[in-house]
Structure 1
Amino acid sequence: MIGKLYIPALVFAASLQAQTALYNTGNLRIHEGGQMGFHTDLINDGSFDENLGLVGFYSNGSRTVDGIFPPSFFDVEFYTENGTLLNTTANVANTANFITGDVLTPRSQPTITLNFTDNGDASGASDISKVDGYASITNQQNFIFPVGDSEQLRPLVLNSEGINTLAKAAYFYEDPNSPSTFTAFDTNSKPSRLGDISTTEFWRLEGSVPSTVQLSWNERSNIRALSDDVSEIVVVGFNKLTRQWESLGGPASVGDLMQGVAVSASFVPDNYEALTFGAFAEPRDYLDLENYFVSPNGDGINDFLDIPELALSPNNHMQIYNREGLKVFEQSNYTNEFNGFSNQNNFVVGRDKGLPSGVYFYIVSLDDLGLEFQGFLYLAND
C-alpha cells in the first residue's frame, strides 16, 4: 500500500551495474499513515528525510540502498531473505523492525551504519535478522545495539553517563590477533593480573561519553577456554595508548560456561579499540547466594524475589539480566520489588504480561558491607 507521497522528481531507472532500482533525484516523502514497500533497490540522490510512515524492504533475495544522500526513515522493516545491503548510511527516527534477513554494512567502512536517531529503536532482532556490521546512535544515552555476524545476534548494551552525540558498535566473530579490518590486538599484551583473553570474538565500540557495557556469551564464545569459574570473567578492552588489554572492571559476571553476562565499570569507549572477554589471573572475592524461584501467581508463595540477606544492608543495588544479557530490572535499596515485570525501557516485548518464564541472572551489591553477590533465579510467569 502506498500512502500520500510527494514526489516531484522520481524516476525508475537502471543503475550503472544494470540493476533495476528506484532512483530518487527529487523530494520523496511518506506522510503519517503512509506505507511504501521497496521490491527493488533504492538509489537516493535526492531528499528522502521527512518521513512519518512505514518503509519496507522485501525480497526473496537481497536489496541494496545506495546514493549520495542517506535516506531517513520513520518506521522501517526488513524482510529480505539474503539481507539488505547499505552502501550509504540509513537513519531510523522511530522503529526498525527486523523480520528476516540482516542489514549488512561494510566493516571496512565504519562510517556507513544503520543509524538510530534521537528516539530510534530496534525491534525483533534475532539470529535471523540483525545488523551484520555497524549500527550507530545519535543523541541517545542508552541503547541495545542489535549487532552480530551472519550466524548470530551478539548485542552490545550501552549505558552512558550522558547523551551520545554519536556512538557506534559492531561485532566480529574473529580472533583479535588477526582481525580482518584492524591492526592486530595482541592477546598476550596484558598486565600480569589478567589471565587469558578471548581469541574467539570481539566488539568494536566508539563513543566519547563515559559508559558501561553489558556483553553476553554463549556456547560459541568458548568461555571455558578462559576459566571454569564464570565469576572470574571480565570485560576487557584493548587500550589505544598502551597497546595492551586491560580489565574494564565491573561486578562479578553471572551465568554458566554455556551462557552468561558480563558488565563493565564506567570507561570511555574511544580510549579502546576492541572489547571482549578476559579472565583474572587470580580469584576475586565474590560470594554466591542461593538460586531462587519466583512465581508471581498471587498465591502468596514466591510471588516476588525475596533475598533475606539484603536486610543486613539497606543500601544495596539489585540488577537482573535475561540469558541474552539484557538488563530487565534494576533497583537501588531493593526490598522485594521484583515480581516478574521489567522496569527497564529497553525491554518492551510483552511488558504488560510480565517477563517470559525462564532462567535469569542477578547481581546485587551490599554497599553497607562492601560485598557483592551473584546468582540465578527461575521465573515461572504463567
Structure 2
Amino acid sequence: MKTLLHIAFLLSVSFAVAQSGLYNSGNLQVHHNANLGLHTNFINDANFDQTTGLVGFYGNNVILVSGSIPPTLWDTEIMAVGNVFLQNSIMVRNNVNFIYGNFLTPTNRQMVYLNFMDQGFFTGESDASKVTGFAAVNNRDVFSFPVGDRQQLRPLTLNSQSTTPLAICAYFYEDPSSPSSILESFDREEKVQDIGSITDREFWIVQSDVPAQVTISWNSRSALGAIPNATAESIIVVGWSKSSNQWVIIGNSAISGDLTQGFIISETFLPSDYAAITFGTIPLPTDTFAVNNPTLGNYFLSPNGDGTNDFWIIDGLEESPNNSVRIFNRYGQQVFEKINYTNEFRGIANTGTLITNQSAGLPEGVYFYLVTLDDLELEYTGFLFLDR
C-alpha cells in the first residue's frame, strides 16, 4: 500500500452541508505519485478524470460513493472493513488493488458498477475483497470479472469473439426463482423440454452485445450433487431467454471436475439475449429408466386361471404410456401386437395366421418380444416363456 496524503481541505474541494463527506464540485486532481486516502463518503458532482495517482478507500465505516458524475481514477485500492457502497459508478483506468472489503453496487441498477476501462486490471481479489454487485469492462475481448457475494469470490470469465465496447457482470447466491436482491425472477420450472433440472443455489447476470463464451465454476457450496440424479457429465450451461421467458440450453464446449468442484465453458452465445445464466442438467427421465432397466428381462406366463402369471405384466411401463408391444414365435411370425399396452396379453394371438386358434391359445414354448417406449425413445427385446 502506498503512503497516503490525508486531505482535510483543498481550495478545489468543498464539503456538503447536508451530507457528510468529501464533496467535489470542480477542479479536484490527484497528480502522478500523489495519494488520496478516503475515510469518509465521496460525493462527486464535477469532472474528476485527471487523476494519475492513487485514490484509496480505508477505515472501519461504510464509505458511500455518490454524485451525478462518475469519477475516473487511475489507481484505487480498498482496505475498508465496512465496505464501499457505490451509488455512482467508479471508472478505473489502471489498477484496482483489492486488500480487504468489497465494492458493493445496487443490484437493481445494472448501470452502476466498478468499471475497468480499456487497460484497467485488478490484483488481490479474494473471498474477503471483490465486487459484490456489478463490475464492468470496456473495449476488451477477454476479461475475468472479480465478482461474488458477501462470502465468496465467484468469478466469470468472458471470452468475446471481438472487442466488446461494454460488458457487465454480477453474481447472486440466490434461488433464480425467488431472488431477494433483484426485482426480476426466473422460474426454474419454466424451461424447454431438453433441460432436466436447474440449480436453486446461484446465478450470474452477464450482458454484452458481442457473441462470447463464458467460463463459470462450481464448488461445494454450489451443491450440484443435490440436483436429483445429477452427474458431472450431465451439467450444462442454461440461460433465461429474454425473448421466450424461459430457461433454454446455452450448451458446453468444455467441462472438467466432479460434483464437488469444477468448471464449465459455454458454447458461443449473445449474452444480452439472456437475463441470467446458471447450471442445469440434461433431462434425466429417459436416462434414469434406461439405467435402472438395462433390459426388461425374460418373463414366464402361465395363463391357467390360477391368478398367478395369468397376464404379462411389464413393470415400469407407466413411465411411457405411449408404447407398442409385439410378440413373435420362434419362426419369426408375429402373433400379438398392441399399441399402448396395459397388460392385455394372456397367451392368445391377436394377429397373424395363428389368430384363428384363439380358443385354444398359443402353444407353449419360447416367444420373442419387442417393446418400444415412444415417450422415452427406448426399445427393448427379450424372451417370454409360455406354459400351458
> Are 1:43 and 2:55 matched, yes or no?
no
Go from structure 1 to structure 2 and tell me whether the alpha carbon gap of 1:208 and 1:34 turns closer, same or farther (over 3 Å shift).
same
Partners in 2 of 1:49 and 1:214 — Cα distance?
Answer: 33
**1:247 to 2:255 alignment:** no
CA distance, structure 1, for counterparts of residue 18 and residue 28 of structure 2: 22
Residue by residue, what CA displacement relative to the aligned partner does 1:101-122 show, whole Å, maximum 9, x if unpaired? 1001010111110011101112
1:144-223 equivalences under 5 Å are 144-180=144-180, 181-223=182-224
**How do residues 173-322 of structure 1 correspond to structure 2 at under 5 angstroms?**
173-180=173-180, 181-226=182-227, 227-281=229-283
Q: How far apart, in 2, do the equivalents of 1:184 and 1:48 lie?
A: 37
With the length of structure 1 as denominator, give the TM-score of the two structures: 0.70
Identity %, equivalent residues: 43
Query: TM-score, normalization: structure 2?
Result: 0.69
The Cα of 1:125 is off from its aligned counterpart by: 1.1
Q: Deviations over 1:16-75 (max 9, x none)?
A: 24x2x1111111112222211112221111221111111111011221111111111111
Larger Rg: 2
Conserved 8 A contact 1:107-1:133: yes
* Alpha-carbon distance in structure 2 between the residues aligned to 1:184 and 1:68: 30
**CA displacement at 1:248 relative to structure 2:** 1.2
Checking the alignment, whether the CA contact within 8 Å between 1:231 and 1:252 is kept in structure 2 is: no
Name the Cα RMSD after superposition: 1.9
The one-letter amino acid paired with 1:244 is: Q
Query: Offset of 1:183 from its aligned partner?
Result: 3.0
Task: Kindly report which structure 2 residues correspond to 1:101-120, keeping only aligned pairs within 5 A, or say none.
Answer: 101-120=101-120
Give the Cα separation in 2 of the matches to 1:263 and 1:204: 16
**In 2, Cα distance between equivalents of 1:268 and 1:255:** 26
The count of residues paired between Structure 1 and Structure 2 equals: 279
Distance 1:230 1:242 in 2: 28
Partner SS for 1:220: helix
SS of equivalent to 2:272: helix
Matches of 1:206 and 1:249, distance apart in 2: 17
Residue 8 of structure 1 and its aligned partner are, at CA, apart by: 5.3
2:276 partner amino acid: A
Deviates more, 1:88-97 or 1:23-32: 23-32
Alignment partner of 1:10 is 2:18: no
1:332 corresponds to: none
* Runs of 4 or more consecutive aligned structure 1 residues displaced over 4 Å after TM superposition: none
User: How far, CA to CA, are the matches of 2:245 and 2:13 in structure 1?
Assistant: 51
Q: Are 1:22 and 2:22 an aligned pair? A: yes
> Which structure 1 segments of 5+ residues have no match?
284-382
Distance 1:140 1:218 in 2: 28
1:10 counterpart letter in structure 2? V
Q: How does 1:69-148 map onto structure 2 within 5 Å? A: 69-148=69-148
- Aligned partners of 1:71, 1:183: CA distance in 2, in Å? 29
User: Match of 1:62?
Assistant: 62
The offset of 1:151, in angstroms, is 1.0
2:6, 2:38 within 8 Å by CA — same for their partners in 1?
Answer: no
Offset of 1:259 from its aligned partner? 1.1
How far, CA to CA, are the matches of 1:249 and 1:186 in structure 2?
A: 19
Determine if contact 2:254/2:266 at 8 Å carries over to the other structure.
no
| 1:255 Cα deviation after fit | 1.0
The Cα shift of 1:229 comes to 1.9
Secondary structure of the 2:93 match is: strand
How far apart are 1:228 and its partner, in Å? 4.0
Which amino acid counterpart does residue 280 of structure 2 have in structure 1? G
Paired with 2:84 and 2:252, the residues of 1 have a C-alpha distance of 37
